[in-house]
């Protein structure tokens, strides 16, 4: 790989960042924009300032795949403090009420957790970035207003009690996008009759990205200075590894670069592609014969004959830096 290729690889991909407490997700993005010297930097899945853990950061063409990464499930280690409610539903807020909680037992918590597993309805908190009529809810909350919010369906696939010391319950939470863990904690406290709030939160996983492989902003800056950051940056292709691959020849690849749909008859790996995408309207990666990721497609259509192009991930003339080996 040439120096130019290596620089391009650093610009296009996904970094697994270990966000520290006190930083907003935007703070992390702004810092890394300066460290990497690139303008296109974003993140997939916001973490509150007090929370720590995995924050996927996308650079260069990586920002084009954010919508696919935010669909991943998340795993958290959350500490629920029983007996206190706050206006923000976490430890950063003002205490609204206090109740004795010494009579609550582990088995009672386990029983309460059963009500929050599976597909449930959750009302977003007032202190959130969710917009109603174009205004973030937290701005209305700071102005002393309470806005009516509609409950939304979320999925809590795992909710386990890891430990309980009589006041603080440590929970393992695996949930879908759009889940507010602090609201989950507040709701559990309400069911138990003593109230509660989120004392601490660590995100241990976003989809396949785990805390074990996450780097601090300082470590990323060090690796960038040494010229070795590309060794630990995920390429777009690796980040999208869960989606099946369609392989096309050079002529079709040229059309894909211009956003032209792919007829299934032009797919070189038709047999394996059919096995991997049995359903209509599946997300697929489109590769050329050299293994370069060209685009993200969706299909087949109702006729089963065409895959539409959703995102072109290469320049028309200069090719891709999102190769499988990066």
Catalytic residues: 48
Asked if residues 224 and 264 have their Cβ atoms less than 8 Å apart, the reply is: no
- 3 state SS of 232: coil
Task: Tell me which residue of 28, 33, 69, 30 sits closest to 52, measured CA to CA.
Answer: 28
DSSP letters of 38-72?
-S-EEESS---TT-EEEEEEEEGGGGGGHHHHTTS
What phi, psi does 216 have (nearest 5°)? -70, 165
Instruction: Write out the two tokens for 107.
Output: 């088995």
* Dist. CA 168–CA 80, nearest whole Å: 6
**Cα first-last separation, the chain:** 10
Instruction: Write out the two tokens for 262.
Output: 């792919």
């Amino acid at each position: 790989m040439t120096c130019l290729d290596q620089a391009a690889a650093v610009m296009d991909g996904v970094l697994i960042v270990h966000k520290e407490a006190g930083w907003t997700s935007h703070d992390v993005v702004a810092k890394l924009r300066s460290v990497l010297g690139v303008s296109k930097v974003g993140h997939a899945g916001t973490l509150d300032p007090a929370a720590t853990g995995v924050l996927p950061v996308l650079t260069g063409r990586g920002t084009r795949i954010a919508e696919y990464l935010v669909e991943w499930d998340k795993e958290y280690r959350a500490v629920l403090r029983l007996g206190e409610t706050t206006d923000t539903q976490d430890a950063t807020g003002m205490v609204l009420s206090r109740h004795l909680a010494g009579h609550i037992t582990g088995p009672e918590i386990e029983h309460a957790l059963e009500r929050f597993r599976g597909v449930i309805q959750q009302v977003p908190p007032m202190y959130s970035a969710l917009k109603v009529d174009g205004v973030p809810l937290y701005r209305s909350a700071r102005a002393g207003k309470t806005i009516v919010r509609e409950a939304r369906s979320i999925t809590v696939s795992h909710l386990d009690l890891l430990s309980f010391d009589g006041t603080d319950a440590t929970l393992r939470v695996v949930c879908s996008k759009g889940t507010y863990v602090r609201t989950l904690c507040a709701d559990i406290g309400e069911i138990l009759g003593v109230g509660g709030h989120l004392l601490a939160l660590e995100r241990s996983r976003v989809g396949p990205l785990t805390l074990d492989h996450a780097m601090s902003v300082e470590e990323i800056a060090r690796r960038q200075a040494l010229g070795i950051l590309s060794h630990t940056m995920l390429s777009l292709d690796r980040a999208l590894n869960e989606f099946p691959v369609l392989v096309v020849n050079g002529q079709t690849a040229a059309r894909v670069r211009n956003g032209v749909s792919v007829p299934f008859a032009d797919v070189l790996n038709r047999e394996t592609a059919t096995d991997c995408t049995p359903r209509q309207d599946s997300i697929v990666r489109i590769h050329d014969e050299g293994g370069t990721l060209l685009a993200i497609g969706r299909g087949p259509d109702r006729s089963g004959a065409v895959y539409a192009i959703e995102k072109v991930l290469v320049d028309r003339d200069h090719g891709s830096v999102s190769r499988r080996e990066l």
